[in-house]
Amino acid sequence: MADHYEVLGVARDASPDEIKKAYRRLARELHPDVNPSPEASERFKLVTHAYDVLSDPQQRQQYDLGPQAGFEGAGFNGFGDIFDTFFGGGAAGQQRGPRSRRERGQDALLRVEVDLDEVIFGAHRDLEVDTAVVCETCGGSCCQPGTSPVTCDICHGTGSIQRTVRSLLGNMMTSSPCGTCRGYGTVIATPCVTCQGQGRVRARRTVPVDIPAGVDTGLRLQMPGSGEAGPAGGPNGDLYLEIKVRHHDVFSRDGDDLLCTLTVSMADAVLGTHATVKALDGDIDVEIKAGVQSADVLTVKGRGITHLRGSGRGDLRVGVQVVTPTKLDRKERELIEQFAAHHKQDTPALARFQQGLFAKLRDRFL
């Protein structure tokens, strides 16, 4: 069995962040939606299983315990099973029953891209997923229709073989999984020809997804029971959706607030005007007061992103940029010179440092 650290390509003392980064890098490379080859699919399963173990502190600690992990891999589950093996199931002499063929399916991870305007009110997607589904021919029984598993004639349905071993302490009873039925207690004499006795097949299916409003890049949504079907009709795993919000050329996001820049002519900045801003969810009338300055921020309440938790929406923050004309005709230049002549006292001069001005600029171009 491959070492989980080698599968992820990290050192045994790797931090949780290093393990997460390694998994994400490999998942982007090997995910079936990106690399549909059978080899990549098998490696993706190994990578996902390795990450599931190493990302959980308790499972990672148990995995790092080499001797104990070795006992468990051989069919022991701690000291209790050791005593069960040598003393025939403890003082009461009880035997373990056969293990079930039904197992829980693996979890699946998909990346879903949404536009910024869809984040405001949420979105719906019908995702095509390549996954394991229950075999329609056998319904997950693993057997050809009309047949059923038969009791193993070696272990007689117990799933284990007991033997008497002579030791220094006397005769001891040992127990090991039955090699014929592999511990299931039953044998599938006539496997389903469609699924080859697995109870599931690979297929594409459509998963309807309602993406809530307010999501952001990196957020993972869990859909219980929407992952891969388990072997022999076992329960489905979970489906995780990793959200990525596409870049928008006009609007950016700061938490649940939307940010944009509004260019204003010098004349409109002096005299004041009204402007129509084409927001993501409809037009907004913005009042530009006379004397507005570059880097001033106009706030429109409740026209930002819907809060993911709770009610209400963030704000729309509009940063003003006053545009100075660079090309003037003769008449325009004369008017500007006349205006300047009446404001000779307004010559450029140093003024008191304004921390707020730079904060507004930073927020506007975030």
Q: Is 181 known as a binding-site position?
A: yes
pLDDT at 73 exceeding the cut of 70: no
pLDDT at 156 exceeding the cut of 50: yes
- pLDDT for 309 equals 84
The predicted-structure confidence for 81-107, as pLDDT tens digits, reads as follows 444 444 444 433 344 578 888 999 999
The predicted-structure confidence for 259-287, as pLDDT tens digits, reads as follows 999 999 988 998 999 998 898 889 999 99
Q: Can you name the CATH fold of 252-364?
A: HSP40/DNAj peptide-binding domain (2.60.260)
Q: What class does CATH assign to 95-149+188-246?
A: mainly beta
Q: Is 143 known as a binding-site position?
A: no
pLDDT at 245 exceeding the cut of 90: yes
Average pLDDT over residues 11-37: 85
Average pLDDT over residues 112-127: 92
Q: Is 142 known as a binding-site position?
A: no
What is the location of CATH 2.60.260.20 in the chain? 95-149+188-246, 252-364
264 vs 31, more confident:
264
- pLDDT for 44 equals 83
Average pLDDT over residues 329-333: 87
- pLDDT for 38 equals 79
Q: Is 135 known as a binding-site position?
A: yes
16 vs 85, more confident:
16
Q: Is 260 known as a binding-site position?
A: no
Average pLDDT over residues 18-38: 84
The predicted-structure confidence for 48-67, as pLDDT tens digits, reads as follows 888 888 888 888 887 877 54
- pLDDT for 70 equals 38
What pTM was computed for the model? 0.60
Query: Residue 235 — very low, low, confident or very high, per pLDDT cuts 50/70/90?
Result: very high
- pLDDT for 248 equals 92
Q: Which are the contacts of 307, defined by CB distance < 8 A and separation ≥ 6?
A: 214, 256, 313, 314
pLDDT at 75 exceeding the cut of 50: no
